Structure 1
Amino acid sequence: MNLDEKMLLLATCFLFLPYQIASVGIACILVQAFCRHKLVDAIKNQTGAIFLYSFIGLEFIVTILHSNWNGFGNTWLFVLVGLYGAYYRKSITKSTFEKMCDLIIILSIFAAIYGLYQFNQISVANGRTFLEFHIFNSPKRRITSTFMNANIYAMVIDFVCVMCMYRFVKNDNIFCKIGYFIVALFNFFVLYLTGSRTALLPFALIFPIFLYCVRWKKLFITSIVLELCVCGLVFLKPTLIPRMSDMSTFASRIKIWKTAFICISMYPLFGWGPQTYKKFYPLVHGHKAPHAHNIYIDSILSYGVIGTILVLCYTFVLNKEIFTSNTRKENPALFGMMMCFIAIVLIYGLLDCTLNIVATGTLCFIILNSACMYKEK
């Protein structure tokens, strides 16, 4: 394993630390890559670089013009993720990728244990016991582990569960398979304790998608039947889903979306840059929120039509690489994992924006860029 591969594994560890530390850690890795003349060539060969960095440059200009300093800082996160993605593409190998997935799965165990500790502390502080498994509605009284909030941690768990499926298929050792299954169940249990209802929605699709991609036809059909049974059970007993009776957050989202549409109508071309909503809502006395709680609305709101087109162009080029590379033929499990990640983002995006943070943004970005390992030379 060379130095670059070791740096990728180190960066993976940083993702499970608070975002401030993770950002500095990954920035340091990029500095060493630049000093070793690795980064410039990586950017030159990065798929869709013209669209990605045009978008980032546009957002820097827009945020400065509108004095959107939160958005300006957020744009630096785009730079960080984009540059790390370039370095990742140049340095990743098939064997290192498998090690990276295993490392993420192992780190998720420690994150989950810390999450359980938080849950116990929250329960005791509010006159409950751990075994009551009472999940509070207040964001401040929900577990976050080492991440910014409960919903971001829940998305990380979604990603980890998909990785467990991937490694379950790829590893032939029966004891390892059992281990991946146990870790996935453990993470799913902690996911339930986060109280994130949105994070449960992708599970209706990720199992069938993955099983279809790896060509396990019987299990694919079985998973659909089981999913329908679970949906029927939830329909009959909605209390199985945490915080299901609380509709106040959905009502808040309706207010947020109305405010967002006002801003879109006023600044349709470029928006005000990342986190436009946070800067705009006080001006019209809208509902307080850091973003529009919908990735589709927030994209138009923050980046405008022009910025969103650049994002879509980059997405198109990246997806073209995924589908035209040999990934689907040589590693159908990786192709399935990519499809599951896309499904998670699209479904989660209906009610939240959780990719604008180091852990989720970087993790999703590098997985979707992993088809570079299977491009025809």
Structure 2
Amino acid sequence: MKSIGIIEKLKSLSKQEGLLLGVILSIFLPFYLFVIIFISYLLWLVYTGEMKGILKRLSQHPVLLFFIAYSTAISLLAQNVMGVVSSVAMFLFAIFFYYYQSQLTPKFFRLTIEGILALSVFAAAFAALEHFQIVKKFDYTFLSPRMQVWHQNRAEVAFFNPNYYGIICCFCIMIGFYLISTTKLRWLRIFSMIAIFANLFGLNFTQNRTAFPAIIFGAIIYLFTTIKNWRAFWLSVGVFGVGLAFLFSSDLGVRMGTLDSSMEERVSIWNAGMALFKQNPFWGEGPLTYMHSFPRIGAPYHEHAHSIYIDTILSYGVVGTVLLGIASSTPVRMLIDMSQVPSKRPILGLYLSFLTVVAVHGIFDLALFWIQSSFIFLLVMCSLPLKHSMIDEFVD
């Protein structure tokens, strides 16, 4: 009967909601297929005449638009082609997620994250097949030979890189915690628990060392935010213990044996990033500045500076970083307001755990700056205005 209930939920969706949900769930396809679907959807919004209203309402967010324009301008001045492409992608994401916010309801958000969690289980199963080399990895060389990077037996599913898939596993685990905390349905609690463990194994198959401290701290933040009593402490200790067991278990194949050499490589990339930053500290050269400018100082090739903090100031300079800070002030105020309402602790915990995962994972990598990982992050974080305005948390 519960499965029939899900089917009824899908049938109750309007045409606009059904199409929107289809685009959202296509994020689990290889990125080039998702891009085709995403662009087609935006063109459909143009065809239906809705794009004009979206752009008009989007103009009410001048700081965000100014930052995107700034990012585009400095990329053009630096002749940073990929920076221009990334800036245009930011604008398209801004259009999509502003429309997403206008269509968002508590029930639709709930169905969206349940769908994301369900598909993450299939992704974890595919990750196991990849890890044990039962199926081959997706081959992207038809796009460009440089785009294909073979990562031995590290699972990446349809997300191009094991680190990108790793942070997506972290997000899905946090969604699982949230659904367990806010549902009265026994089957959904059981399914969410299964999905959490599936994503833990998927995370392990990525052999992404950075993701494990991220998920440990994210889980601790979620538990302390939502429970706030002695149980939170012991649950957090348990989560921390399980995380450490995964992190240091040689049987599970996490690449801890090469940690020293990897850290040396990371430090060299950070030093190169800071050297590039010092050449243009105020303005930056646009997104993916490291990939654009690394030959200038004889640094090794990498797409980015492998740190969200270094890469941000490197790409946007002091001016752009300040603009980002200003654009973030309103969401921060909303989070502070929500922290005063006990009934909103579960969704607040979800937001804070997402931010914690990004903050911790971002110390050593820039996995958020990818089409699919940033899309899932924004799907959750863009529900903030809706959840902020609600009196009570929606549960099912």
TM-score norm. by structure 1 comes to 0.88
Query: In the alignment, which residue of structure 1 is the partner of 2:66?
Result: 54
CA distance in 1 between partners of 2:35 and 2:194 (Å): 31
- Indicate yes or no: 2:325 matched with 1:312: yes
- Indicate yes or no: 2:381 matched with 1:368: yes
Q: Which segment is superposed worse, 94-103 or 19-28?
A: 19-28
Q: Deviations over 1:107-166 (max 9, x none)?
A: 1122112211211227999xxxxxxxxxxx973542110001000000111001111111
Deviation at 1:356, TM superposition (A): 1.7
Q: 2:168 aligns with which of 156, 163, 172?
A: 156
CA contact (8 A) 2:176 2:196 kept: yes
CA contact (8 A) 1:327 1:371 kept: no
CA distance in 1 between partners of 2:249 and 2:162 (Å): 24
How many matched pairs?
366
Instruction: Show the 5 A alignment for 1:1-377.
Output: 1-45=13-57, 49-121=61-133, 139-215=151-227, 217-227=229-239, 229=241, 242-246=254-258, 247-324=260-337, 328-376=341-389
Amino acid at match of 2:289: T
SS of alignment partner, residue 333 of structure 2: helix
Amino acid at match of 1:349: G
Deviation at 1:66, TM superposition (A): 1.3
CA contact (8 A) 1:144 1:153 kept: yes
CA contact (8 A) 1:118 1:145 kept: yes
CA distance in 2 between partners of 1:231 and 1:359 (Å): 25
Q: Which segment is superposed worse, 221-230 or 172-181?
A: 221-230
SS of alignment partner, residue 133 of structure 2: helix
Higher RCO (CA 8 Å, separation ≥ 6 residues): 1
CA contact (8 A) 2:120 2:199 kept: yes
Query: In the alignment, which residue of structure 2 is the partner of 1:134?
Result: none
Amino acid at match of 1:143: A
State the percentage of identical aligned residues. 23
Amino acid at match of 1:296: Y
Q: Deviations over 1:220-278 (max 9, x none)?
A: 11123325545776899788771111022221111111111111111111211111101
CA 1:327/1:99 → structure 2, altered by over 3 Å: closer, same or farther?
Answer: farther
Q: Over the residues paired in the alignment, what is the CA RMSD in angstroms?
A: 2.7
SS of alignment partner, residue 71 of structure 2: helix
CA distance in 1 between partners of 2:65 and 2:286 (Å): 14
CA 1:195/1:374 → structure 2, altered by over 3 Å: closer, same or farther?
Answer: closer
CA distance in 2 between partners of 1:97 and 1:24 (Å): 24
Deviation at 1:332, TM superposition (A): 2.5
Deviation at 1:318, TM superposition (A): 2.1
Q: Deviations over 1:194-238 (max 9, x none)?
A: 100001112222222222322352431112332554577689978
Please list every run of 5 or more consecutive structure 2 residues that lacks an aligned counterpart in the other structure.
1-12, 138-148, 391-396
CA 1:55/1:346 → structure 2, altered by over 3 Å: closer, same or farther?
Answer: same
Please list every run of 5 or more consecutive structure 1 residues that lacks an aligned counterpart in the other structure.
126-136
CA distance in 1 between partners of 2:354 and 2:131 (Å): 27
CA contact (8 A) 2:132 2:153 kept: no
Amino acid at match of 2:214: P
CA contact (8 A) 2:214 2:361 kept: yes
CA contact (8 A) 2:226 2:345 kept: yes
CA 1:140/1:161 → structure 2, altered by over 3 Å: closer, same or farther?
Answer: same
